Amino acid sequence: MSARRIVVCVVLGVACLRPTYSHADPVLYTTREAWESAVTSFKDVDLAAQVAEGQTLPAGLPIVLPSGAALRFGSDLEGLQVPSSWATWSDGHTPRVLWTRTTFENTSLSGSFSPSVAAFGFEAEPDPQGPFVTTLRLSDGSILTQTVDGAGGARFFGCSGAAITSMTLSCDGCGFAVGRLVEAGAPVPEPTTLALFGSGIAGLVARKLRTKRRRGMPRVSHARLNTLQVLEAYPRHD
């Protein structure tokens, strides 16, 4: 087997270790704690490093997720900071947030993922503060609706278990800010999977080494081999 084929097998093996989810439909979450327990491995999106306070994030300009995927919103957003330019959030957190620049009106914010993501979440808080019905719609048709009271802080919207390519967050009669975006990371592979993968690679390497050894041995022609066999059968008697 050529070195190139071994590399291809390694790449295919690594691809098999990418995160997979058994759910045909996404599972929706209203608390970050439940979402974190379900995905086990996750990382927050560093909004502060990508959007400065008071800076406009133009529609279509990507937010880069920890996996390298891009999240593009369909409307201009403004970066604000809790508590200096956005008053409150939840549980004492002070994140950089993205504001829709709307107040007291129906607001809808769309976002698309490229490539798709399997587990993602964020928090949202209405503007102005008060109880407002807020709805998240995913590309597969799943819907999560919550009444979010801005006076009580932000609420979590999350999903896991399916390839999501787009989302839309809408609020009846309010604008809002989103923050604390988070994405699930690759789960740790099971020990059995790692053992099978490792033994397969070891077998490929051993086969390659055996092939090299055989190629390095001196070759004997058929005529020379026949002569040697005759000499062995009829030894000379001096």
Per-residue tokens: 62? 């990507």
Q: What percent of the chain has pLDDT above 70?
A: 68
Of 7-21, 66-80, 177-191, 220-234, which has the strongest mean pLDDT?
66-80
CB of 23 within 8 A of CB of 184?
Answer: no
Distance of alpha carbon 225 from alpha carbon 54, whole angstroms: 86
pLDDT > 90? residue 190: no
pLDDT > 80? residue 155: yes
pLDDT > 50? residue 21: no
* Arithmetic mean of pLDDT, 137-145: 96
* Arithmetic mean of pLDDT, 4-15: 44
CB of 134 within 8 A of CB of 147?
Answer: yes
* Arithmetic mean of pLDDT, 139-143: 95
Distance of alpha carbon 18 from alpha carbon 163, whole angstroms: 13
* Arithmetic mean of pLDDT, 201-218: 56
Q: Which DSSP category does 123 fall into?
A: E
Per-residue tokens: 104? 């007291």
pLDDT > 90? residue 238: no
**Residue 151: which residues within 8 A CB-CB, separation 6 or more?**
129, 130
Distance of alpha carbon 74 from alpha carbon 129, whole angstroms: 24
Output the CA torsion sign for 209, 210, 212, 218: positive
pLDDT of residue 88: 93
Distance of alpha carbon 180 from alpha carbon 47, whole angstroms: 8
Q: What is the CATH number of domain 21-184?
A: 2.60.120
CB of 124 within 8 A of CB of 169?
Answer: yes
* Arithmetic mean of pLDDT, 62-91: 97
CA 92 to chain centre: 27
Q: Looking at 152-161, 181-190, 197-206, which range is the least confident one?
A: 197-206
* Arithmetic mean of pLDDT, 136-151: 96
For 154-191, b/e burial (b = at least 16 CB within 10 A) is bbbbbbbbbebebbbbbbeebbbbbbbbbbbeeeeeee
pLDDT > 90? residue 187: no
